[in-house]
Structure 1
Amino acid sequence: MGSRESFLAGVRAVAPIIVGIVPFGLVAGAAAVNAGLTLLDAVGLSVVVFAGASQLAAIGLFGDGAPLALVVVTVLVINLRLVMYSASIAPELLDEPRRWRALSAYLLTDQAYALSVTRFEREPGTSRRSFYLGAAAPLWAAWQVCTVIGAVVGARVPPWLPLDFAVPLTFLALLVPAVKGRATAAAAAVGGGLATVGVGLPLEAGLMVGAVAGVLAGLLTEAVVGPDAVGAGEDEPGGGHA
């Protein structure tokens, strides 16, 4: 399959998922402004971080006046899964120029990864570079547009109408579709439980404790009971951008 056809195949594959990330992008932009960030700050955070779950966590920490070091560490912990994605997909892109591989790393998301590795396994003749770009670039563009719209609209929301409630609701919407087996269920239960118990801790420390404990619980569960058998169709994401 040629480069153009592969790129268009990636665009078609990701199109239904873009519909699902629109509300998350709107909430991320609105929540950033509600937490005290300027429009420029909100847009900069979205462009630099480009990761829905960690952006929402960072916004909550900024709103609570947390130090920058804690915000950075929290974002890194939440995004640790991307390291595993990178290690998995890297062999498929080793022949690409270094600059393009750097761009691929920046555009890496749960959705782009799952769609790409599934496609590469099913159709080896696919142009890997083109398909990945077709799946990843539209996600990036849609996320940036939605966060800008959310930030602009959020800046005009009356102060008496809080947007804080949207952040935990969005996290729940991101979490539920991701629970597909024993390891993820254990991670969600332990991480969510500890984060809830530690909700009163200063500087959102409960979130950090929950995130670390959730990752460890998932790894321990997988080590003890073995990985869950997940079909190729189940690997394709249906949730929001994370």
Structure 2
Amino acid sequence: MSDSKGDLSAGDEFRSGIRAELPLLLGVVPFGLMFGVLGLAAGLPAWAVVAMSSIVFGGASQVVFAQLWGAHVPPTVICATVGVVNLRHALYSASVAEWLRGLSWRWKILLAYLLTDEAYAAALVRFRDGPPGAQRHWFLFGTGLTLWSGWQLSTLGGVLIGAAIPASWSLDFSIALTFIALLVLAIHRRSEMSAALVAGIVAVLAQPLPYKLWILLAAAAGIAAGLASRKLDRKEPV
């Protein structure tokens, strides 16, 4: 149902957000299962693995944390690395800020918590290409809540079934597939393509670095490449 101005209602936006997010759970669920198993294998207690999915709620940073914890990396390095990995969420917030500017601080806190990779990817398409509407923040709430629920349940499932998951499933590869899919959806400009290519090349070349420092180096190189090639965006988008 729509309101008097022709905008979609809060309920319609919320349900549309859920529908947009559900296909992405095909990549999220094995990702969450894998994290549950990885967290236990790294020596984290089951309650900590489950709690991390609610408190941190960032798949990539949680996986990095578990890997570094299992490798007995110093806590300061773990915190710094996880913090840098999660900086992308600040970029997500800046990207959608113009569409959420008029919301109350309570809404902004809630949506900031739910604004993770797959929720952002689905909501950005709605905000950028969809019709304007006073209730469109409910779309992001729908995508975020759906993602949050799927992530909690899949992490719990990974903890419960643990070693029963066959190694032949190669669940760790689902992480790469998920982020590749999100990357493809997010690239609309030549500068974004340049950033993705440079970051990918640097990530591969820098694999031998200790403490997962390839993540920091690839991120910095990608940002630099994107900024340096922004003038290319004056032409037609890719």
The reply on whether 1:18 has 2:46 as its aligned counterpart is no
The reply on whether 1:207 has 2:215 as its aligned counterpart is yes
Instruction: Select which of 68, 91, 94 maps to 1:87.
Output: 94
Q: Distance in 2 between matches of 1:157 and 1:174?
A: 20
Tell me the number of residue pairs that the alignment of Structure 1 and Structure 2 aligns: 226
TM-score by length of structure 1 reads 0.78
Report the counterpart of residue 178 of structure 2 in structure 1: 174
TM-score by length of structure 2 reads 0.79
Which amino acid in structure 2 is aligned with residue 135 of structure 1?
A: T
Q: Distance in 2 between matches of 1:61 and 1:55?
A: 10
Instruction: Select which of 104, 118, 127 maps to 1:111.
Output: 118
Which amino acid in structure 2 is aligned with residue 25 of structure 1?
A: G
Contact 1:3 1:130 in 2 (8 A): yes
Q: Distance in 1 between matches of 2:37 and 2:236?
A: 38
The reply on whether 1:68 has 2:72 as its aligned counterpart is no
Report the counterpart of residue 142 of structure 1 in structure 2: 150
Trace 1:228-239 onto structure 2 (pairs within 5 A).
Answer: none
Instruction: Note closer, same or farther for the CA distance 1:174–1:7 as it changes in structure 2 (3 Å cut).
Output: closer
Contact 1:6 1:126 in 2 (8 A): no
Contact 2:27 2:174 in 1 (8 A): no
Q: Distance in 1 between matches of 2:164 and 2:45?
A: 12
Q: Which structure's relative contact order is higher, taking Cα pairs within 8 Å and 6+ residues apart?
A: 1
Which amino acid in structure 2 is aligned with residue 62 of structure 1?
A: W
Identity of aligned residues (%): 36
Contact 1:14 1:139 in 2 (8 A): yes
Q: Distance in 2 between matches of 1:41 and 1:106?
A: 19
Which amino acid in structure 2 is aligned with residue 13 of structure 1?
A: A
Instruction: Select which of 127, 130, 140 maps to 1:122.
Output: 130
Q: Distance in 1 between matches of 2:165 and 2:26?
A: 24
Instruction: Select which of 43, 49, 52 maps to 2:59.
Output: 52
Instruction: Select which of 220, 227, 230 maps to 1:219.
Output: 227
Q: Distance in 2 between matches of 1:13 and 1:225?
A: 31
Contact 1:183 1:228 in 2 (8 A): no
Q: Distance in 2 between matches of 1:187 and 1:224?
A: 13
- Which secondary structure does the structure 2 equivalent of 1:149 belong to? helix
Q: CA-to-partner distance for each residue in 1:102-136, whole Å, 9 max, x for gaps?
A: 01100002332333343244222351232221121
